[in-house]
Amino acid sequence: MSNTPSPKKKSPDAKEPTLRPEQRRRLTTIAIVAVVIGILVGPNLFKTKTVRHFTYSTFLTKAEAHAITSASVQNATGTISGVLSSGVHYTVSGPMPVIPSDIKELRKLGVTVKFANPSSFSRDWLPLIEMLVLFVLVPLFIFSRLSKGQMGGMMSIGKSKAKKFDEDRPTTTFADVAGYVGVKEEISEVVSFLKSPEKYKAIGARIPKGILLVGPPGTGKTLIARAVAGEAKVPFFSVSGSDFMEMFVGVGASRVRDLFATARKQAPAIIFVDEIDSIGRKRGAGLGGGHDEREQTLNQMLSEMDGFDPTEGVVVMAATNRPDVLDAALLRPGRFDRQVVVPLPDLEERLPILQVHAKNKQLADDVNLDTVARGTPGMSGADLANLVNEAALHAVRRDSTTIAMADFENARDRVVMGQLRDGQVLQDDERERVAYHESGHALLAYVLEHSDPLHKITILPRGMALGVTWTLPEEDRHIHSRQYVEDSLCMRMGGRVAELLIYGDLSTGASDDLQRNTELAGRMVREWGMSKRVGPMAWGSNNQVFLGEGLMQTRDYSDDTAKIIDEEVERILREQEARAIEVLTLHRRGLEAVAQKLLAEESIDGETAAQLIDEAHGQAVHPFGKKTVRTMLETTNHDALTAAAKLTEETTPEA
């Protein structure tokens, strides 16, 4: 027996494979194009007769020799065609207009002359084809698309653009969100209600209708929303606030209605609106009133969230980094009942965030992510992700297969201080002035008791600065004492004062320092009550983002008070300048030592600068240890290891 399978017979009921709609449309288009080309080109392809071309004078000469039998003159072009006595066809480009005497002469010579209008496809048939296409084929095409529902772009402009996520995507969960324990607890409560609402209804609890995620840019608000979509196991509709806005009036409100109607049909469900401030701004703000389309969209959203038709089982989540511009009606209970603040991560949260982003990275043995976390205060989750990526890029540039601690240091310099400008070349006198300027900042940062610890000084141009002095706080601060603010003012005066002591004059290099100091001193007087003459009063800036609203507001203090404020700001700045002069004069040898070291090496760390200042002073400025970032980290790590060892000893049972 043969093992070769016998061919299967086709069933008589089996249907032949049919073409897909797009294949049929493609074949139809090809056929139409082929027919048109055939009509235009076909007549020329099938011409078989031989035609001779000669000039008009040759034509007259042949006519006189009785070699021309007939001549057909085209009135529009003057072209003459006909048959020679030998039977060969000819064409001649005759004059325009036709010469009557030549026609008479031809007829006398026995040539049959007739006049004709030329036949042209473009003139005779093209207008008819255009009318047929315009008035017959195009309407038929449009009606066929309408009947098949393929005019979505025009007929569904009021439909919501929200993306629906099912249980399989996104795959992000709360386990992928490092830190933010309190935020995840509040969000988890909503997810739990949507999964098992009967547990809450049994006790009479009502879940918040809306949750607003508020926080600075890059803190992970959208990431948390994606985690909710991954955890909820219910329909999750994601849309951006800008998706509601179009050039047509009323489209935004229509899309809001369609979004909530779709969510109600699939309840329980979650609606997430990212960047809600684009449609939720205060109504009627600005010069000349508000934006009608945006206000209609906002009014519709307010009605949908808390109107006559309750949205049972639909929870609205939104995210913004500008809560101050949102309309009050949007934030009241019954709409966004709960505001969840997503702040910048603190030290305990930065370490797990770094661990998440470094999970798939090849780290060297000398990398200590705890040290990196301590050296990145004020960075958001996005900043930390960028820091890890910049470190990896730096490792690739130096042809390394692992990311070392030095790569993290360079990446932090790149993120905080800006890109190193290798093409920026300073003159020798400018370079020396920048060295003394930065040395003045560094010395005051090290000597002053309440200033932040010194980390690094460089005179290499970075970003927009010609030099940078970098300090880092010992720990995350949420409030600042008056001594800390005054030391910050004095430290920023160090560059200007150092130039004044060394050169006896000033330069433009301190413009940014003076601007920041004036702003900080103004806040001390106007907002923080740190002036005895002004007293416990505050006139803080409302930080209005609407141009019209800011212009329409008036100053809420008198001209006399404004004069006192200006005088107090000037007094504070002059006091800190005099204090900086006193300290730098006392430590002038240390100032010069740090400046010469900078001129020789261009960049030094805080530990080196502290050693130079102590040696020039003749003794340690701080008897309890150098006030630098490295000393701070070493002390913190040592205290942490000591505490861990002590805890281990206490919990280990005796033999």
| CATH number for position 264 | 3.40.50.300
- Give residues with Cβ within 8 angstroms of 613, minimum separation 6: 443, 446, 447, 587, 590, 593, 594, 621
- Give residues with Cβ within 8 angstroms of 14, minimum separation 6: none
Q: Are 141 and 193 in the same domain? A: no
Q: Tell me which of 426 and 550 has the higher pLDDT.
A: 426
Q: Are 146 and 156 contacting, i.e. CB atoms less than 8 angstroms apart?
A: no
The answer to whether residue 498 is domain-embedded is yes
Q: Judge residue 83's burial from the number of C-beta atoms within 10 Å of its C-beta, 0-12 exposed, 13-18 middle, 19 or more buried.
A: middle
At which of 155, 172, 202 does a domain end?
155
Q: Tell me which of 1 and 462 has the higher pLDDT.
A: 462
At 555, the pLDDT band (50, 70, 90 cuts) reads low
The answer to whether residue 89 is domain-embedded is no
Residue 566 pLDDT: 93
Task: Count the domains in the chain.
Answer: 4
* Arithmetic mean of pLDDT, 87-92: 83
At which of 281, 311, 341 does a domain end?
341
In Å, how far are 437, 492, 561 from 518, measured between CA atoms? 19, 11, 17
At 114, the pLDDT band (50, 70, 90 cuts) reads confident
User: Alpha helix (H) ranges present in 266-346?
Assistant: 292-305, 328-331
Q: Judge residue 533's burial from the number of C-beta atoms within 10 Å of its C-beta, 0-12 exposed, 13-18 middle, 19 or more buried.
A: exposed
pTM of the predicted model as reported, rounded to 2 decimal places: 0.63
The answer to whether residue 58 is domain-embedded is no
Q: How many CB atoms lie within 10 A of CB 392?
A: 21
Q: Tell me which of 510 and 642 has the higher pLDDT.
A: 510
At 624, the pLDDT band (50, 70, 90 cuts) reads confident
Q: Are 214 and 129 in the same domain? A: no
Whichever domain contains 612, its CATH number is 1.20.58.760
Residue 302 pLDDT: 82
Q: Which three-class secondary structure string do you get for 464-512?
A: CECCEEEECCCCCCCCCCHHHHHHHHHHHCHHHHHHHHHHCCCCHHHHH
Domain membership of residue 315 as a residue range = 163-341
In Å, how far are 26, 237, 466 from 153, measured between CA atoms? 21, 21, 53
Residue 104 pairs with which residues in a beta bridge? none
- Whether the pLDDT of residue 655 is over 50: the answer is no
Residue 576 pLDDT: 95
* Arithmetic mean of pLDDT, 316-345: 84
Residue 399 token pair: 């042809």
Q: Are 388 and 478 in the same domain? A: no
The answer to whether residue 632 is domain-embedded is yes
* Arithmetic mean of pLDDT, 116-120: 62
- Whether the pLDDT of residue 495 is over 90: the answer is yes
The answer to whether residue 323 is domain-embedded is yes
pLDDT tens digits for range 51-88: 788 888 888 888 888 888 888 888 777 788 888 888 78
In Å, how far are 69, 100, 104, 498 from 64, measured between CA atoms? 11, 16, 13, 111
Half-sphere exposure of 287 (CA within 13 A, CB side): 5
Whole-number percent of the chain with pLDDT over 90:
18
DSSP state of 18: P
Most confident of the following: 141-155, 329-343, 609-623: 609-623
Residue 93 pLDDT: 82
Residue 18 pLDDT: 57
Q: Classify the phi-psi angles of 529: left when phi > 0, otherwise alpha if psi is within -120 to 50, otherwise beta.
A: left
Residue 261 pLDDT: 82
The answer to whether residue 255 is domain-embedded is yes
Q: Are 200 and 147 in the same domain? A: no
Residue 160 pLDDT: 53
DSSP state of 209: S
Which amino acid, residue 67? A
Q: Are 448 and 596 in the same domain? A: yes
Residue 651 pLDDT: 37
Whichever domain contains 410, its CATH number is 1.10.8.60
* Arithmetic mean of pLDDT, 141-162: 52
Q: Are 182 and 218 in the same domain? A: yes
Query: For tokens 């959203």, what's the residue?
Result: 301
Q: Are 188 and 325 in the same domain? A: yes
- Whether the pLDDT of residue 24 is over 50: the answer is yes
* Arithmetic mean of pLDDT, 350-372: 86
Which residue from 462, 385, 393, 355 is spatially nearest to 217, judged by alpha carbons? 385
pLDDT tens digits for range 502-514: 999 989 889 999 9
Query: 3-state DSSP call for residue 68?
Result: strand
Query: 3-state DSSP call for residue 227?
Result: helix
Residue 81 pLDDT: 83
Q: Are 278 and 356 in the same domain? A: no
pLDDT tens digits for range 432-462: 999 999 999 999 999 998 888 888 898 888 7
* Arithmetic mean of pLDDT, 232-245: 76
Rounded Cα distance, 282 and 159, in Å: 25
* Arithmetic mean of pLDDT, 462-482: 81
- Whether the pLDDT of residue 639 is over 60: the answer is no
The answer to whether residue 137 is domain-embedded is yes
Backbone angles phi, psi at 627, to 5 degrees: -90, 75
Residue 291 pLDDT: 57
* Arithmetic mean of pLDDT, 329-349: 83
Residue 143 pLDDT: 62
Q: Tell me which of 447 and 285 has the higher pLDDT.
A: 447
Which residue from 439, 452, 438, 459 is spatially nearest to 483, judged by alpha carbons? 452
Pairing of strands 314-320, 338-341: unpaired
Q: Are 374 and 441 in the same domain? A: no
Point out the least confidently predicted range of 75-79, 98-102, 283-287, 446-450.
Answer: 283-287
- Whether the pLDDT of residue 548 is over 50: the answer is no
Rounded Cα distance, 243 and 252, in Å: 8
Cite the beta strand spans of 279-391 per DSSP E. Answer: 314-320, 338-341
At which of 396, 417, 438 does a domain end?
417
Residue 138 pLDDT: 64
Order of strands, edge to edge, in the sheet holding 236-240?
A: 163-165, 236-240, 269-274, 314-320, 210-214, 338-341
CA angle 62, 65, 71 (to 5 degrees): 50
Q: Are 526 and 408 in the same domain? A: no
Q: Tell me which of 629 and 178 has the higher pLDDT.
A: 178
At 310, the pLDDT band (50, 70, 90 cuts) reads low
Catalytic residues: 438
The answer to whether residue 14 is domain-embedded is no
- Whether the pLDDT of residue 611 is over 60: the answer is yes
Q: Mean pLDDT in the chain?
A: 77
Q: Are 501 and 584 contacting, i.e. CB atoms less than 8 angstroms apart?
A: yes
* Arithmetic mean of pLDDT, 205-227: 83
Residue 44 pLDDT: 55
Residue 52 pairs with which residues in a beta bridge? 90
Q: Are 180 and 283 in the same domain? A: yes
Which amino acid, residue 506? L
Order of strands, edge to edge, in the sheet holding 468-471?
A: 468-471, 454-458, 603-605
* Arithmetic mean of pLDDT, 372-383: 83
DSSP state of 287: T
Backbone angles phi, psi at 407, to 5 degrees: -65, -40
Residue 643 pLDDT: 45
- Whether the pLDDT of residue 282 is over 60: the answer is yes
Residue 456 token pair: 């690094």
Q: Are 180 and 288 in the same domain? A: yes
At 115, the pLDDT band (50, 70, 90 cuts) reads confident
Q: Tell me which of 24 and 153 has the higher pLDDT.
A: 24
* Arithmetic mean of pLDDT, 130-139: 67
